[in-house]
Amino acid sequence: MGRRTMLSLREILLRLTVAAVLGAIIGIERIVRRRPAGVRTSLFVCLATALFTILSGEIAHRLGDSGSTRIASNIVQGIGFLGAGAILRGTGSVIGMTTAATIFVEAAIGMAAGGGLYAVAGYSTVLVLFGLTVIGWAETRFNLKCRLMVFRFTTSHADSVATEIQRLMASLKIPMQHFRVSMSGATSIAEFEADVSHKQQEEILAQLNRQGVITEVVPVEGHQE
């Protein structure tokens, strides 16, 4: 096997540019859907990992070091800390998993571009966009995606409603979080949080919504992918 030749400046700039463009494309999708890790973050993740990958090989070549993958392997560990920063533990749930996973795959795409595997980097970007857009649409369209929602029922007979809520949620096998009953003047309020699909949400409201009961359903603040 012949010795690896150093990359030309033109090739290095091409690899960095491809990585930056692919990162920006993914970032645009994040911005359109109003998610964290937008254009600049995605561009920087891809660009940085591409640069580290290039430097790993180039520095190893100059120093005659055969362990050219050491820097690249550390990228995986480092990007894990960045992704972990995007994951927040919310009220009874973990949010930001999609953002963290997107950052992780952006790093891989950047490494592929940095290694000159343009077709692999480009195709991976297409798959990421497919997952974020098409599969995301299908989750919404077919009510597959669950969201953490707050259900609030205001009535003058909260005790009977509270009992019915517990019975209904048990029959639907949907765990409740922070179930509570409180008084507000002459009325009582029964409320809880639950991860539900749109179809489950409609079923709960259909069963509990009646005359004399005011129902409210709102997403938990900050709950996002």
The span from the CA of 110 to the CA of 179, in Å, is: 45
Q: Was domain 147-219 assigned CATH 3.30.70.260? A: yes
80-138: per-residue pLDDT in tens? 777 666 665 444 455 577 888 898 899 999 999 999 999 999 999 999 999 999 988 88
The span from the CA of 25 to the CA of 43, in Å, is: 8
pTM of the model: 0.68
Token pair recorded at residue 1: 């096997």
CB 18 within 8 A of CB 113: yes
pLDDT band for position 48 (50/70/90)? Answer: very high
- Chain Cα centroid distance, residue 167: 33
161-208: per-residue pLDDT in tens? 888 889 999 998 889 988 988 887 778 888 899 988 878 888 898 888
Closest CA to 36 of 97, 93, 94, 79: 97
Domain boundaries of the chain, sorted by first residue: 9-141, 147-219
The span from the CA of 224 to the CA of 141, in Å, is: 17
